[in-house]
Structure 1
């Protein structure tokens, strides 16, 4: 681990026999291990799980030049804040937003109770206006969890909503029909 990595909390469980898990909660990596693990096993598994977990939260490559922010999530938070101000009257701002590699069947997800947003790494490299739509879509979920009339009204202010939805539908169609990369 480096100085930039989040703190780690190890939780030993007598109910666990073989499984190890890691989760990022409020900026702390929680590693759950079986209570019978030795100190060496603990150290080995903590390193493996922290590395695996942090690799899922890939930093955003700067799109407009200049130095990368000190915290990789800062750029996404700033982007979300600007979108919130421009299209949602300052509402729906997440407390954390980041790239993940484990979103294979959706473009992003939000957890309204925690005010967090996870973006699929598959969005990286797509046009900025498409990524902006996905961020806005997830921020709208922080305000209204359902895809109801209230939810869709929140997105009406963004001028490229329908175009972005069509773009993502086209990408999904191509990928599902073996046309990706042609």
Structure 2
């Protein structure tokens, strides 16, 4: 069962993903969360504190979704990695489109809000280290390959969000990238 703090953060994600950064207010979050006015402000006194809380919540939810989508903690083959990564990309632009949009909204916010840069760098570092761990059995350079794979996915997902292709199928390019990176490294 989600805590009230998690409910508030999930509502903030919903607001960011549907109304954008300018739509993020404590009152708007309270309305979406279905909690009394002032609840989100009690947990996060400022808008920036709320944004930092959202960054942390996104990391937690991303890891949970990966485990649920991939059905395994660490891929044991390139094919398993391709399957899980493809599922992740499709989930990100499909069922999880609002949360993905919120993530990209936060990325842009961090570009112009200095106080958001450190929390975003920390969250990114956490995710990169996690992906490195996923690649440890498949790569002789998990740090470099994690960055390449993550950067490609972020770009492909961003393009699908902003310029949707009706026949979007990320598998062929994910397969080409993963196979190229990981078979040359072995």
TM-score (norm 2): 0.34
- Structure with larger Rg: 1
Q: Which has the higher strand share?
A: 1
Give the structure with the higher percent helix.
2
> Which structure is richer in relative contact order (CA contacts within 8 A, separation 6 or more)?
2
